[in-house]
Each structure stands twice: as structure tokens, then as C-alpha cells.
């Protein structure tokens, strides 16, 4: 079902500072920046490698407001890993299978993710405390 | 410097239960199990994909005791992502470069990791709150 680890989503307070830290320390390149109003974040994708069906990235996330999901996460847990994401071939198909197996979905249907992907989140309480995202990368 | 996301390390209270959850829900296969007395964990590696220089995995970690690092993590944070790991070609070389760039290392020299890899951890306070591991996979 999983083609690759798509990205590790890291919550931070200052996106530009963390882009500099990660790119300078690990020789990484920013390949996309966007603001996702629906999710209440501005973000950057730092490319690590290419794999089946898409790439692997570090995703840096700065909240647009304190009462957004990532804003609340920062207030409670501080900076660090917010979620992890796995690449799938067909996100709707994966959502169906996973739901049948008893894991709750946070999204009823796929929504828009980074770099025109289609994504869905799974309930962290059903996945060992890990906020888990499914990613169907945009066709290339 | 990074060839791939090597693994996502997830702390759990019951390794066998979580192996069943992740393998059944996501069709993953356990490719290695081991006990690492030095790190105070028993662990399992669930294979996701193959990439440059090695594979990508979910690593499930159950502490051997409450006063081990993963045991303390569970008591403080509960189950969830404990660390993330990136594949490098030469761990000693990567450690040197990263240290020169001002990020503190938790290990002075490479040590033994999962599946005969050579690994080193970076200080999470210098990497955006993320406990970060470098992995040089065993020659194949």
C-alpha cells in the first residue's frame, strides 16, 4: 500500500529560520513553498530523494495563527515532528482499505495537499499516537 | 548528504501489538527484529521501499525498562514518533560536516544500529526539536 515515506512534517515557529537551518546543515534544497489557508500553515518542502510515485521530503510548517492545529501543537508540545506521510498510488482506494481495517480517518474525502497532491489524514489514536497522512502525488 | 529517509522511529508500549497494527493496516512486512541492550530497546523494522544506499522503514521501539531513553519518552510524551533517521553514504563523514556547521552530536563516534548499520544521533535542540539519526546502512 505504501510506495515510500513521502515526508516528515516538522512544526516550527519561524519558517525562514528553519529553512536556513535544515538547508545549510544538511545540503537540502527547497523545491516548493506555499500557504495552505485551509490547514492554517505556511510551509516549505525540502527535497531528499525520488522514489516510486513521487519524492521524499522534509516539510517545514509554520502556523498562520495560534488557534490553528499546528499552532496548538506548538503550544502544547513545542517544535518537532508534527506528522508523517506515506505515498500511495490512489489515496481514495487506500482510505477505503484502511477504514475497513478499523482505523478512523480524519478526512471523509481526499483534500488538497502540498505540491498539488491529494491527501488524507488518519486518526493518530488508531495509529500508535502518530498523526499519519496518505499522499497521492500529482501526476508528473 | 541525505540519500533517503531511512526510517521513522515510533515508541510503543507493546511491540507485538503494534507490529500487528502496522502490518495488518498498511500491508507491511517485518524484515528484522532485534534487541539493542545499549539503547535499551527491543525493536522491529517494517519495510516500506528501497532507495539509494539502503531501504526505508517504520521502526517500532519498545523500551526494555522505564528508565531507558524510550521508556522516559513514553512516560513524558506517550506513544508516537520518537526520532527520524536519514540515510547517508558515510556516517563519520556526515558527522564531521554537520558538527562543523554548529549542530551538536550526541555520539562522539558511530555506533551499532539496526540491521548492522552504523549510526549517530544529533542533538534535537539543534535540529528544530527533532531527534535526528544518521544511518549508514550495512553493505549489501
Q: What is the mean pLDDT of each run of 10 residues along chain A (140 residues)?
A: 98 98 98 95 98 95 97 97 98 98 97 95 98 91
Distance from CA of A126 to the nearest CA of B (A): 9
Q: Can you give the pLDDT at residue A88?
A: 98
Domains parsed from chain A with CATH numbers: 4-136 (3.10.180.10)
A128 with B18: Cβ contact below 8 A: yes
ipTM of the complex: 0.96
Nearest to A4 among B56, B78, B84 (CB): B56
A2 with B26: Cβ contact below 8 A: yes
Q: Can you give the pLDDT at residue B140?
A: 54
- What percentage of chain B reaches a pLDDT higher than 70? 99
Q: Can you give the pLDDT at residue A140?
A: 55
Cα–Cα distance, B120 to A104 (Å, whole number): 36
B3 grid coordinates: 540519500
Per-residue pLDDT of chain B (140 residues; tens, 9 = 90+): 999 999 999 999 999 999 999 999 999 999 999 999 989 999 999 999 999 899 999 999 999 999 999 999 999 999 999 999 999 999 999 999 999 999 999 999 999 999 999 999 999 999 999 999 999 999 85
A138 grid coordinates: 500529482
Instruction: Tell me the β-bridge partners of B55.
Output: B50
Q: Can you give the pLDDT at residue B139?
A: 81
Q: Can you give the pLDDT at residue B81?
A: 98
Instruction: Tell me the β-bridge partners of A73.
Output: none
Contact list in B for residue A8 (CB cut-off 8 A) is 5, 8, 84, 130
Distance from CA of B25 to the nearest CA of A (A): 6
> Is the separation of the CB atoms in A8 and A84 below 8 Å?
yes
> Is the separation of the CB atoms in A114 and A43 below 8 Å?
yes
- What percentage of chain B reaches a pLDDT higher than 90? 97
Long-range contacts of A49-52 (CB under 8 A, 24+ apart): A49/B2, A49/B3, A49/B4, A49/B5, A49/B51, A49/B52, A51/A3, A51/A4, A51/A87, A51/B4, A51/B49, A51/B51, A51/B56, A52/A3, A52/A4, A52/A87, A52/B49
List, in sequence order, the alpha helices (H) in B3-48.
15-26
pLDDT, one tens digit per residue, over B44-83 is 999 999 998 999 999 999 999 999 999 999 999 999 999 9
Among positive and negative, which fits the CA dihedral B96, B101, B106, B108? positive
Average pLDDT over chain B, rounded to whole? 97
Amino acid at each position: 500500500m505504501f510506495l515510500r515515506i513521502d515526508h516528515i512534517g516538522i512544526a516550527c515557529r519561524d519558517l525562514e529560520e528553519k529553512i536556513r537551518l535544515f538547508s545549510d546543515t544538511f545540503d537540502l534544497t527547497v523545491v516548493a513553498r506555499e500557504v495552505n489557508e485551509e490547514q492554517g500553515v505556511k510551509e516549505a518542502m525540502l527535497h531528499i530523494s525520488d522514489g516510486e510515485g513521487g519524492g521524499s521530503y522534509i516539510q517545514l510548517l509554520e502556523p498562520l495563527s495560534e488557534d490553528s492545529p499546528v499552532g496548538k501543537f506548538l503550544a502544547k508540545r513545542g517544535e518537532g515532528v508534527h506528522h508523517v506521510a506515506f505515498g500511495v498510488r490512489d489515496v481514495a482506494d487506500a482510505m477505503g482499505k484502511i477504514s475497513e481495517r478499523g482505523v478512523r480517518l480524519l478526512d471523509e474525502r481526499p483534500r488538497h495537499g502540498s505540491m498539488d497532491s491529494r491527501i488524507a489524514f488518519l486518526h493518530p489514536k488508531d495509529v500508535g499516537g502518530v498523526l499519519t497522512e496518505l499522499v497521492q502525488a500529482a501526476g508528473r
